[in-house]
């Protein structure tokens, strides 16, 4: 069986590479991809060649990290997953993925593909929330209502936080933030003139101007969690950071994807929401390269892109 992987071979140059799938190991499952996603904040800077990184970026490199598909084969010692099961896994823009049983997240029948795929980033967001432990009755500020900011709103609400304010210039994202549980949205200009001071805040914009405003709006000894990737521009400590003796923690990846999945799937089952609207653009795998380019040149704007794969992978 042939697998097709989308490789970034140079800045703004993507190529589908075909290769034979390796033999399945006894503890592994073979997944045929149904949907994937483009993570605008992390993938687009890499595609453009402008991403900031602590390590030298080497080519070719695999793209993506969010995949959902159906198991079409399994190893001899796999116990808890069966052929035909839907699973979420981390193997990126590929028509097929091979992962160990412990790395595949099973998806209940009553959970949609789009909601299931968001289990990855909601787990990443939850790890940051757990680090700063907001109190339900204390207000929280979020800068940036892209994918991470919107998921932070949703997860804070799920954790019982009552007052969530969001700074975001885009009116459509402001509306979705309110639908997901934010109490108030404001533009950066409105944020700069506001009087509310926050004990906890989440930086989700990847923009230093927003980060500087966030620091100005903190209470003394406030806690800041940086959830943005930091690959767009440097985030600088403002004078307010020292004057207010603020604390900052960074957070990346999730705390426990399997355990979070059980809780998350139960949450979205019991409390329907507008969460799927985060995917504001849908495309297909054969249009994936063109979609990256349109995003890069600004011909289209999106919060998060959902990618549909054809049943016959060879149609790529």
Residue 77 has pLDDT above 50, yes or no: yes
pLDDT at 316 over 70: no
Report which secondary-structure segment, H or E, holds 97: strand 96-100
- Rounded CA gap, 125 and 199, in Å? 18
Q: Which pLDDT score, from 0 to 100, does residue 185 have?
A: 98
Mean pLDDT of the chain: 95
Per-residue pLDDT at 54? 76
Share of the chain above pLDDT 70, in %: 98
Provide the pairing of β-strand 105-106 with 96-100. unpaired
Helix or strand (DSSP H, E) at 261? helix 257-270
pLDDT in tens, 184-220: 999 999 999 988 999 999 999 999 999 999 999 999 9
Quick one: pLDDT band at residue 232, thresholds 50, 70, 90? confident
Say how far apart CA 45 and CA 147 lie, in whole Å. Answer: 15
């Amino acid at each position: 069986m042939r697998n097709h992987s989308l490789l970034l071979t140079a800045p703004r140059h993507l190529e589908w590479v075909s290769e034979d799938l390796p033999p399945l190991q006894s503890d592994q499952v073979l997944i045929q991809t149904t949907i994937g996603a483009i993570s605008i904040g992390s993938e687009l800077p890499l595609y453009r060649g402008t991403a900031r990184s602590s390590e030298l970026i080497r080519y070719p490199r695999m793209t993506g990290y969010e995949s959902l598909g159906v198991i079409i084969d399994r190893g001899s010692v796999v116990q808890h997953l069966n052929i035909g099961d839907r699973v979420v896994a981390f193997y990126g823009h590929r028509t097929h993925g091979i992962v160990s049983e412990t790395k595949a997240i099973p998806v209940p029948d009553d959970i949609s593909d789009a909601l299931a795929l968001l289990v990855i980033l909601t787990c990443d967001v939850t790890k940051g929330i757990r680090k700063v432990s907001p109190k339900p009755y204390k207000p929280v500020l979020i800068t940036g209502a892209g994918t991470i900011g919107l998921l932070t709103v949703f997860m804070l609400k799920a954790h019982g936080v009552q007052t969530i304010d969001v700074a975001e210039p885009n009116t459509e994202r402001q509306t979705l933030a309110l639908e997901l549980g934010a109490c108030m949205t404001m533009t950066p200009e409105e944020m700069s003139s506001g009087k509310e001071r926050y004990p906890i805040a989440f930086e989700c914009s990847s923009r230093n101007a927003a980060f500087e405003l966030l620091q100005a709006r903190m209470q003394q000894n406030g806690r800041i969690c940086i959830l943005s990737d930091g690959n767009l521009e440097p985030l600088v400590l403002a004078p307010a950071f020292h004057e207010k003796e603020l604390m900052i923690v960074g957070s990346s990846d999730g705390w426990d994807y399997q355990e979070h999945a059980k809780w998350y799937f139960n949450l979205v089952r019991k409390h329907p929401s507008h969460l799927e609207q985060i995917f504001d653009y849908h495309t297909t795998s054969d249009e994936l390269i063109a979609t990256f380019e349109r995003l890069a040149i600004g011909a289209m704007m999106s919060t998060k892109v959902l990618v549909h794969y054809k049943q016959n992978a060879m149609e790529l």
